[in-house]
């Protein structure tokens, strides 16, 4: 596996959280799978992969389109987040990305830009001991337009007080990579640096 490095031009680093710093994807997968069984939806790792980076409510809306179901997106999205919170202690760090963040802590300004909810994002950071490395976290609560819109990352740059073109984004999803590109930032897809195992038991 090749080693994750930063772009030499980077003056600030912005990390996505789920699937980038924190291996939360298996936890999100099982939270959805556990909740959606009662709606007759067989939630597979392949299906989950097509929904990466979409917040819970948006995911339920997409599933309604795919399966012609009539789930209340707000309500079921909320159930999913409750289920996720029950099992989130099982998550693990994504070692190469976390090591990179630790390496540049105190050397370059850093932020987290996530599509998740603020409270759960900070709880994730806390579980993995990442809260001591980051002061700035932009969540879905802080923006109007979710990824692939660049707002999340542009807000990070603004809070970091670094021009977008000097920020490097670390992401695991297509929507996040699109958001970084639209923001005029450098970006790196971290899934090239670790093995993804979503469907296994956690």
pLDDT band at 1 (very low <50, low <70, confident <90, very high): low
CA 202 to CA 200: how far, in whole Å? 6
Overall average pLDDT of the 110-132 stretch: 95
Q: Render pLDDT for 5-22 as a digit per residue (tens, 0 to 9).
A: 999 999 999 999 999 999
Residue 113's DSSP bridge partners are 138
Same domain, 129 and 41: no
pLDDT for 197 beyond 80: no
Write the CATH number for 55: 1.10.150.240
Domain hosting residue 44, numbered range:
25-89
Same domain, 149 and 104: yes
Q: Render pLDDT for 54-96 as a digit per residue (tens, 0 to 9).
A: 889 999 999 999 999 999 999 999 999 999 999 999 999 999 9
Same domain, 20 and 35: no
Last residue of a domain, one of 37, 72, 89: 89
Last residue of a domain, one of 89, 109, 137: 89
Overall average pLDDT of the 157-172 stretch: 98
Residue 93's DSSP bridge partners are 22
CA 98 to CA 192: how far, in whole Å? 15
Residue 104 falls inside a structural domain: yes
Cis? peptide before 148, omega within 30° of 0? yes
What count of other Cβ atoms lies within 10 Å of the Cβ of residue 190? 22
Same domain, 97 and 56: no
pTM exceeding the 0.75 threshold for the entire prediction: yes
Q: Which of 16, 18, 23, 172 is catalytic?
A: 16
Overall average pLDDT of the 192-201 stretch: 78
Domain total for the chain? 2
For the question of residue 16 being annotated catalytic, the response is yes
Question: Residue 153 in contact with residue 17, Cβ under 8 Å?
Answer: no
């Amino acid at each position: 596996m090749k080693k994750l490095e930063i772009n030499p031009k980077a003056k600030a680093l912005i990390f996505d959280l789920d699937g980038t710093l924190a291996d939360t994807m298996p936890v999100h997968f099982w939270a959805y799978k556990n909740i959606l069984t009662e709606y007759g939806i067989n939630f597979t790792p392949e299906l989950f992969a097509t929904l990466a980076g979409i917040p819970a409510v948006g995911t339920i809306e997409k599933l309604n389109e795919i399966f012609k179901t009539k789930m209340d997106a707000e309500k079921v999205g909320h159930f999913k987040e409750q289920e996720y919170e029950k099992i989130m202690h099982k998550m693990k760090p994504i070692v190469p990305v976390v090591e990179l963040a630790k390496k540049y802590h105190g050397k370059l300004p850093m932020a987290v830009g996530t599509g998740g909810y603020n409270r759960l994002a900070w709880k994730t950071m806390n579980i993995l001991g990442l809260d001591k490395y980051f002061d700035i976290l932009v969540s879905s609560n802080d923006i109007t337009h979710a990824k692939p819109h660049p707002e999340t990352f542009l807000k990070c740059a603004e809070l970091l007080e670094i021009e977008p073109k000097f920020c490097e984004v670390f992401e695991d999803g297509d929507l996040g990579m699109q958001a970084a590109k639209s923001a005029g930032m450098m970006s790196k897809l971290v899934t090239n640096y670790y093995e993804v195992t979503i469907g296994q038991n956690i």
